[in-house]
Structures are given as structure tokens and as C-alpha cells.
Structure 1
């Protein structure tokens, strides 16, 4: 139904897709999986006309095609449901369902009565009962997602692409969704299903394609792969693989003291986190493991105040910290290095000096006047300590390499003298040399007594750099690895196991 051969897409400095072959057959549910940066989103955007390929052939129903826009792809019969609902909040549910194809009366006027009636019928067929005259914004996120699904399947699509469609759905809505997917498959429609939830993949998908670093590393029937093998393909690590390079494992820890400096107690965020509890002691590096979407970044953001929890508590040195407040977390000594440094970290138009001093400015000013001398001393100290390579402190940070931008972010938060440092993918997107420097710096900080929470998609980095590893799956802790259990084999086994199997596994949170 839809295929690409030799697909290549290049962005400045990044080879996003490298000779990708992918085929979605009629009457088949095809899983498309991979970690962050694997190329899934780029492939979907090429299939739907958002991006034009730099090389390769796109075929639809046996004919070579080029889609100049998502609208062209949709008119051809390719419909996409995105993780974030992309409808019009202020319009009614019915208007959203029929946007761009409203039933008309004489003189081109919209037939609202007919539109509302047909909208209600279409939603009921998927088990959704709402007043279609209400604005979409009045519905919950799950109901909005079901409206998006109804719109996608009601436009006579031949290919339906679903990007993390269950992320905002309740269990009842997920069952409804799976019923719709099977109905689409029985109608001969090709379904491309993107999800990080292994249970869903095995329940509803026929075929799987695994992307890693912009390349296809596996494609075939999903039933032929066990969960552990699937996780190994995604992460690029083999069970029992002998590692001849990388950092030496810390067998004795970093001189940890007994009392935790950070405690997270039963943090819960609707649809994202479920009773997550963990501790980090001074001088300890605790790793957070799990696949994309397991709740790693959400845990860090809930601790740092960037994601308000619905329930739970955060304590630093035994004192409660007001949750949902980033300033309160910073005052308590919590600093977060975010996963997406470009969107959530650096300010590319400002200088290295200004980026480093940004968080510390309130403490470097008096009566509204900034002490420029103090800023110069702090910037000079951290540029030397972190070996930040720049023409000088006044060079724009957007002109630096990815590794040096990451060091600038680290310098910003170290200038705050934190007690707890939360690092979300600190080595992603930087070269091997810079990666080794950042890893060595993390170890040095822990040796100096800083409490570090380390998130990484690289199993080797997580295992080699952590004293303990807490494994998350679907927003819940499924296992904690300590001592000799901190190995890649145990990590991947915990990630791949079903929730029932991990609930009482040795070293799990219950134990």
C-alpha cells in the first residue's frame, strides 16, 4: 500500500534517515519503533508530505508519488493521528470531525443539522458518547484523542498512521482503540503504529520495523521476536555482550553517606507517573533506566518542579520542597539539565557568559544592579573547569559544538552550588570525545559529594556510570538494580519483562 526504498533525509549536521526501506501492506498493522532520535518522526513526516526526501523512492498503491504537503497526502488517503491532538479547540466536536469537508446545503451553506447527526453517529461507532455541539476544548484529553481517531478513520483513508495514540487514553479507551485498529485491518487498510509500549505492540501488531540511528536494523513478523530481542535491537546492545571499552564500573560507589539528600515519595502524574519513589544520597549516581516513554524524563521534571504532580512529595535533606514550583526546587538545591538542550536549555542568541550566568543572576545582583566582576569570575572558573572550547566568553553559545553547549548548561547549574543534579540524556547528540569528558565530569561531581540522578538511553553509559539503577516502565518502577545486578543483561531483562513478571522480581521495588 505504501513503501519507501533507499530513503535518505539530511538536516544540517544530521543524517536523520540513511537508506531506509519500509513497506506497509494492506490489511496489516505495522509497528514502527525505536528510541529517541532513531528517525521515526522523520520517516512519518516524509510519508505524509511534511518533508521531501533527499534521496529514495516513495510509492503509494504501486505508483511512485511525491507529496508536496500533508494536505496532498491526506487527500490521497493517508491519514495521521499524532500524539498531541492537532484539532481546533474552540470549534465544536462536529466541526472538527468534518473540517474541510462539511456537508453543504443550497448556496454553499453548511448543513449543521446533518453534520451534527453524522458526527454523533461516527463517534458512537467507536464507543464515544459526547455532545458534538460542544467546543472540543471542553472534553478531556482522552476524549479529544478519540475525536482525532474518528476523524482519521472517517475520511476514507487507505493508510492510517498512529503516533503514540494511547498516551492519553484510559484503559477502556485503549480497548476501544484496539477494536478500531482490528476493524481497519479487516477492511484492508494499512495501519502504521508507533508506540513505546511493548505490550501494545504484541497485542495489536503483525509486523515490526526497528529503526536505530536513522537505519533499519530489523523488519519482519513481530511474533518471531521475543521481547528481550526486541529491546536489544532498539538499544543496540546484545545480551552477554563483552564490552572492551567505556568507563570502569565503580564497584565501591562514590563514598556515599547513609542519609538521602533527595527523596521522591509516591510521585503521581495522570497518565505519566504512578507512585514513583526513589532516593539519592550524597556522592551517589542513581541511574533511571527504561525505554522512551517509560517515565524517566517525567520523573526528573516532577522532582524539579517543571511537571506538577497530582500526588506525592519531594524532600531535600529531609525538608519538603513545594512541588510544581521550579523556583522552589532551585532554592532547595535541585538543578535539572533537560533532555532537549536546544528547546529547554541554551539561549542560542546569547553569549556563553550570559548563558552560564542566567540562573545565578538573582544572587549576583544588589538593588537591581548586577555585579559584573562576580559574573566574570564565575564564568572564567567554569569555562576552565569544564574545558569549554569557545573563542571567548562573549561568543554566541549557538555557534558552539553540541558537546560544548552541554558543558555550558552544566556550568549554569553548577554555578548555583546544587545539592542534587538531575541529568536527562547529558551525552545525547555529542561526539565521542565530548561524551567521555561529560561522563568523567559526572564522576568527579559525585566524588565531590553531589547527588546525581542520571537518565540515559545508552545501557552501557547507564550501567558503567551508576551505583544503582531504577528501572521504569509505563510510568512505574518495575525493578531496582543494585550491586552485582547492575549489568546490561539485567537492565534489558527488566525493561523487556511484562509488568506481572517484574512485580515480584528479585531486586524489584517491592523487595
Structure 2
């Protein structure tokens, strides 16, 4: 079939009108995108804008629901990464995809092994691995186990894996600097410039605006799965990027709560919360904040800012943290999750499928799971009381359910999420911790989840919400703490909670040393 789209001069890959639909969400909506030859093509957008999805399609990890890819004048389609690689496309993931139990050279040459007759030529592997690591200024011994390296070094191995390909044309880098020190970022930029000089094109996703201005040639901005704008880096500045990213899109109605927070009693106080990173640096770096009774405190930040880690420290999942956590003025010694639930904490985790639900159990059992102690009489479970409480909870938070004895997976994502929240609320908590409570659910369900959160705050429940969606956090929070690379970079209250101030605070982060 002859393509109707002729690729422009200087374009090595063109994506035409790409759609990607997942159940319940349209991750990409008619997105067209050019990879300019020999340039650093930057892709920017808030969390959930569709950047990684678009890159996964170009790298053969995902297939588009509609739309076409062209290289030169030829239409191409990749059913997997091996096929994309044959066309010279490599990807460095944000989530490292290395094998921790194998050594450095085994990881670098995985699926690209060199043979000596019928046997693997491991001497050659080790020798070539050493050369490439030398070039990356990371002379790590090729025999070292990946699991023994710190994250920044692992990231360099991930980069090395892509550089050994002889026929690399396009290298996609998804947040490659999120775990690198400043020194390592300098080395990476030097390598990127060398690759450009060899005629390789780079697609670069980053949340760090100052980096983009330094290394990028051309910027494309996505918002809510749609293309918004593109421009040469030399023609734009940071405020332009922020404006394009945030746009004037849909906002959620904000509840006006006229409360003098200074006079409200403090239920939780966190002082000097510090969490070391394995291999040096900090996941949380001396963070202070407090939470008032009946308040909804938002925590905003980009990937790797340290948001979930705050919850993990409070719930006893990170015994290595230092600093003081006080509940109603009393300093806590935190030993375990069950102890924190007893004290009145409830956590609704981000990954509801893995951590929030037992997929083989019914809706009823999932709802009553964490408050099960309340329904035990002697050695027996009071089914009637359990059932009655679950019914109240289903009614209270509008879970749409035909029969509570059905398996949990028969519910829609939004209703599953309400079950996870309901489960937390049944423990009768003083403090509710919600990690991305509206992740992966549609607008209607989101609005209902927000209503539930507001309703319980009105009753005096103190709530901390982590969200990476600006419009959500603005709509729901009475106050927002901004984290960036483990550092608290801002605290906004009331009318100060605006998109641009949140975005600018979240980009203030410093590289870990």
C-alpha cells in the first residue's frame, strides 16, 4: 500500500494520527509526532499525558488502536521490541528492565549474544562491555551482579545495552536522569551529543525543564492524550512550556471550606522525615509538615519525588527512616502496619490490583478484610454483622454492585477503587492516606471519589491525598505540600493553589549527589 503521507525531509520516523484505547481510558487521541533526524526530540506533558504510551508504540512494546507509523516513505508496524530493533529503534525505560541476578555483561548482551561456533563468547561479551562502560565513564567490572549496583549505575547499564546495537537509528529515553547524580547527567548529555554526531536521533522524555532547555532541540507537548504544540527549543522558554502543559482544560468543582486552619487542632506532625536511598542520597530529605483535624492535605510531585515514601514511613513500611512522627502530640514508635491501623491510620495504596484487593475474594470479603477483627465473636466470625457493615459501606459510598457476593473483579475500575476506599473507612480511622485515589478511573467515578473524600473530611476525618493530576489536587486539597526529588519545595494554601505555582515548585528539585 502506497503511503499517503510523505515524510518530510529530515524526519526519520513519523507517527500519524495514533490512538491508543485501554478499557475506560483513551491514552492517545489522534496524536501525530515527528522524530527529527539527528536531533534531541523532547516530549513533555504532565503525568498521564500519554508520553510513555506513545514511546511504547514506537518501540514495539504496545500496538496502536488506530494510526500508522512511517519510516522514510515506508509504512512500518512493530509487533514487538525485536521487530522495532530490526528497524534501529531502542528504548531506555524509566522502570529499569534489568535482571538483578545476572552480571553486567549478561545484561548488556541479553538477546544480542555473540557466539563462538555454538558457544556463547563470554570473553568477547566481557571485553565489549568493559569498552562501552569505559566510554560511559563508568568502569564497572563486567562480572559484577546487577543487584549489587546502585540505581544510577544500573541506569548506565540500561543505556549501555542500547549503545551496543550497530544499527541504532532512534534511541528513546524515558526519564533517563531520574536516578542519576549531576555528574552522571553531564556524562549522559556528552554521550547524547556523540550519538547525534553519529546521525542517531533521540527522543527524550523528562520532567526537568532546565535539562530540556539545555539538551533539547525540538519540543512536543502532549496533554490528556492529545497533541498540544511543538516548537524549537531556541524559540521558547520555561513559562511557555508550563502554560502549554497546564492549558485551560476541564477543572473539577472546588469545595469552599471556610475554616481557620491555624486554629484547628493538629492531629499529625512530621518533623525532619529522612529516608536514605540505597547507594547514597535521599528518597526523603528532612521533610516537615503537619495535618489538621478534618483537613484534606494534598501531596503533589512528579515521579520519584518521594510522595509514596511519606506514606510508607507513616505506615511502618520503612523502618530505616529517621525523624519524628507525632499523633495528637505523642511521638510514635512505629513498628508495623497492623499497629498503625490500631492507632487509627488507614492507607489506600496506589496499586489497588496488587496491594488493595484480594482478587479471588468476593466484594463483601474485600470490603471487610482490614476491619475483620470487629466481626469476630469468640472464635467465630459474625457473618450477619459483617454483611450489615458492608451493606452500609456500599450504600454510603455508592458502590454500584448487583450482588456483594460476586467476585471483586466483576466490578468496574471505579467501583473497585471505591471498595478499596470503603475497606479503609471501615476500620474507622482518624487519618486516611490516599495514594492516587483516582488513578485509572473515569471522570464520573473520579467526581464520586472526590465527593466521598469531602464527605468524610466534613465529618472530621483528616485526610492526606497524593495525586499527580494538577486539576484534581487543586479541586480537592485545602493545602498542598509539593515534593521534588525528596525535598519539600513548596507549601500552598487556599487561593495560592494554582497550576503554574504547583508546576514550578515541582520542577525545583535538585539532583541527588
Fold conserved between structures, TM > 0.5: yes
Structure 2 CA distance for partners of 1:305 and 1:429, relative to 1, 3 Å:
same
Ranges in structure 2 where 5+ consecutive residues have no aligned partner = 1-11
2:459 aligns with one of 438, 448, 457: 448
Q: Which has the larger displacement, 147-156 or 133-142?
A: 133-142
Structure 2 CA distance for partners of 1:226 and 1:253, relative to 1, 3 Å:
farther
Within a 5 Å distance, the mapping from 1:23-422 to structure 2 comes to 23-105=34-116, 107-156=117-166, 157-237=168-248, 246-252=253-259, 257-263=264-270, 265-270=272-277, 272-307=283-318, 310-322=321-333, 325-366=336-377, 368-422=379-433
How far, CA to CA, are the matches of 2:369 and 2:431 in structure 1? 19
Once the two structures are TM-superposed, the CA of residue 486 in structure 1 deviates from its matched residue by 3.4
Contact 2:242 2:500 in 1 (8 A): no
Contact 1:347 1:398 in 2 (8 A): no
1:177-209 deviations in whole A, cap 9, x for unaligned? 122112212222111112222232222222222
Structure 2 CA distance for partners of 1:459 and 1:84, relative to 1, 3 Å:
closer
Once the two structures are TM-superposed, the CA of residue 428 in structure 1 deviates from its matched residue by 3.8
Contact 2:271 2:286 in 1 (8 A): no
Secondary structure at the aligned position of 1:443 is classed as helix
How far, CA to CA, are the matches of 1:363 and 1:495 in structure 2? 42
Say yes or no: does 1:8 pair with 2:19. Answer: yes
Structure 2 CA distance for partners of 1:101 and 1:445, relative to 1, 3 Å:
closer
1:267-317 deviations in whole A, cap 9, x for unaligned? 334253222221101111112223444333333333333455543343322
Q: Which has the larger displacement, 359-368 or 89-98?
A: 359-368
Say yes or no: does 1:425 pair with 2:436. Answer: yes
How far, CA to CA, are the matches of 2:35 and 2:424 in structure 1? 46
Secondary structure at the aligned position of 1:116 is classed as helix
Structure 2 CA distance for partners of 1:15 and 1:463, relative to 1, 3 Å:
closer
How far, CA to CA, are the matches of 1:208 and 1:318 in structure 2? 49
How far, CA to CA, are the matches of 2:21 and 2:259 in structure 1? 44
1:78-130 deviations in whole A, cap 9, x for unaligned? 1111123223333332222223333433x333333333222211111110112
Within a 5 Å distance, the mapping from 1:468-487 to structure 2 comes to 468-487=479-498
How far, CA to CA, are the matches of 1:409 and 1:23 in structure 2? 41
1:472-494 deviations in whole A, cap 9, x for unaligned? 22221111113543344543443
Contact 1:307 1:324 in 2 (8 A): no
Secondary structure at the aligned position of 1:358 is classed as helix
Structure 2 CA distance for partners of 1:488 and 1:68, relative to 1, 3 Å:
closer
Contact 2:46 2:469 in 1 (8 A): no
Q: Which residue of 1 aligns with 2:5?
A: none
Once the two structures are TM-superposed, the CA of residue 61 in structure 1 deviates from its matched residue by 4.1
Q: Which residue of 1 aligns with 2:4?
A: none
Structure 2 CA distance for partners of 1:8 and 1:482, relative to 1, 3 Å:
closer
Contact 1:255 1:283 in 2 (8 A): no
Contact 1:267 1:313 in 2 (8 A): no
How far, CA to CA, are the matches of 1:264 and 1:419 in structure 2? 20
How far, CA to CA, are the matches of 1:212 and 1:29 in structure 2? 20
How far, CA to CA, are the matches of 2:71 and 2:154 in structure 1? 30
Contact 1:162 1:192 in 2 (8 A): yes
Once the two structures are TM-superposed, the CA of residue 5 in structure 1 deviates from its matched residue by 0.5
Contact 2:92 2:162 in 1 (8 A): yes
Structure 2 CA distance for partners of 1:499 and 1:89, relative to 1, 3 Å:
closer
RMSD: 2.7
How far, CA to CA, are the matches of 2:137 and 2:448 in structure 1? 54
Secondary structure at the aligned position of 1:261 is classed as strand
Once the two structures are TM-superposed, the CA of residue 22 in structure 1 deviates from its matched residue by 1.0
Count of equivalent residues: 494
Secondary structure at the aligned position of 1:359 is classed as helix
Once the two structures are TM-superposed, the CA of residue 260 in structure 1 deviates from its matched residue by 3.2
Structure 2 CA distance for partners of 1:247 and 1:155, relative to 1, 3 Å:
same
Q: Which residue of 2 aligns with 1:506?
A: none
How far, CA to CA, are the matches of 1:360 and 1:31 in structure 2? 48
How far, CA to CA, are the matches of 1:487 and 1:170 in structure 2? 30
Contact 1:18 1:214 in 2 (8 A): yes
Structure 2 CA distance for partners of 1:386 and 1:262, relative to 1, 3 Å:
farther
How far, CA to CA, are the matches of 2:198 and 2:90 in structure 1? 15
Q: Which has the larger displacement, 420-429 or 78-87?
A: 420-429
Once the two structures are TM-superposed, the CA of residue 6 in structure 1 deviates from its matched residue by 0.9
Ranges in structure 1 where 5+ consecutive residues have no aligned partner = 501-511
Contact 1:309 1:324 in 2 (8 A): no
Q: Which residue of 2 aligns with 1:17?
A: 28
Once the two structures are TM-superposed, the CA of residue 416 in structure 1 deviates from its matched residue by 0.7
